[in-house]
Amino acid sequence: MNHIPLHEAVPSAQPSTATPDHAAEELRRYDVYLCDVRGLAVGTRRNCGRVVGRLLRQKFVGQPIDISRLRPDDVRRFLAKELNPQQSHSYASQVTSALRSYFRYRTTCGDQVGKLMAVISTPVHWKLASLPRALKPDEVCRLLTAFAAVHRWPKRGYAIVRCALDLGLRSCEIAHLMIGDIDWRTGTVTLRGTKSRRQDILPLPMETGQALADYLQHERPASSHPAVFVRRSGSCDRPITSAAVQNVIKRACRRIGLPSCGAHALRHTLACRLVENGSSLKEVADVLRHRSLNSTLIYAKLDTPKLFTVPLPWPGSQS
């Protein structure tokens, strides 16, 4: 299992040889729990570590971590500081979720944290209140042509956008894609170590396969690393990161004057296209690899023809 290095879990941590960093050690144990017991992805664990690290360093300045000394008022003050009016709902949900996760971990250590959990309120947000952010057909065409005049890695950028737009891959799934995962004979792609820790096999559309083959044959640097998308770091070849995938898509959007978006917006675009072409929610969920159909319900709001059949006639009207 890969655990988050201490300097990634909480970037502000600067362990000193003279003063032990008790918070960093506590975060290391917490990360082991998130990885081995909860099976969470690296990005999720990193976000939890950042939030919890700020709480611990605010309360236990240079002192050993003793949860019995943590009071409900300490948690209230931390939330009041973190959740100011300028913060988004998604950030508020992230903070409260991270705190709950950490206190659940502390219960496995034998701590009584019921009073601490009681002060963490769920941020008010109506489920499915917003529409999924997706690109319009003309914007998709402009995005696909955004790499024509690019001098640095144009084939790589085009292949990355194709993977997100045609397969609905997340940025981390694109970054972790290996050459051996592509079966050119059967036209399939195998995804390993996905967000849900499953192995999925997806059909490889012709346009996506051609984009990947073009990049692999004509632009990918010679490397012994099995990753499809690699970068050279000194004398070593390494796979690109999920952040690099997001940056490729965001820069392409800026070049054509679109609002900055990432791989997830392209997943939404794929789902919206499927719904508009008559696919059922179950089929959309299968393509996006949602474990629960509830994650796909937001796309029901885009099925305009079926929504027309929902309202009842107005009393006294002819229709």
What's the CA gap between 159 and 273, in Å, rounded?
19
What's the CA gap between 185 and 260, in Å, rounded?
36
Please tell me which of 218-222, 234-238, 276-280 the model is most confident about, judged by mean pLDDT.
218-222
- Overall pTM surpassing 0.85 (yes/no): no
- Residue 1 or residue 148, greater confidence: 148
> Each residue of 229-240: pLDDT tens digit?
998 776 678 889
Which amino acid, residue 284? V
Phi then psi for 47, rounded to 5 degrees?
-65, -45
What's the CA gap between 60 and 67, in Å, rounded?
10
Instruction: Please report the sign of the dihedral spanned by the C-alpha atoms of residue 194, residue 9, residue 53, residue 95.
Output: negative
Which residue segments constitute the domains of the chain, with CATH numbers given? 6-118 (1.10.150.130), 137-304 (1.10.443.10)
Distance of CA 78 to the CA centre of its chain: 25
> Each residue of 82-111: pLDDT tens digit?
887 677 777 888 899 999 999 999 999 999
Q: Which of 294, 287, 292, 267 is nearest to 133 (CA)?
A: 267
What's the CA gap between 111 and 129, in Å, rounded?
37
Q: Is 8 helix (H, G, I), strand (E, B) or coil?
A: helix
> Each residue of 3-59: pLDDT tens digit?
554 444 444 444 444 456 888 999 999 999 999 999 888 888 999 999 999 999 999
Pair 117, 111: CB distance under 8 Å: no
What is the average pLDDT value for the chain, to the nearest integer? 82
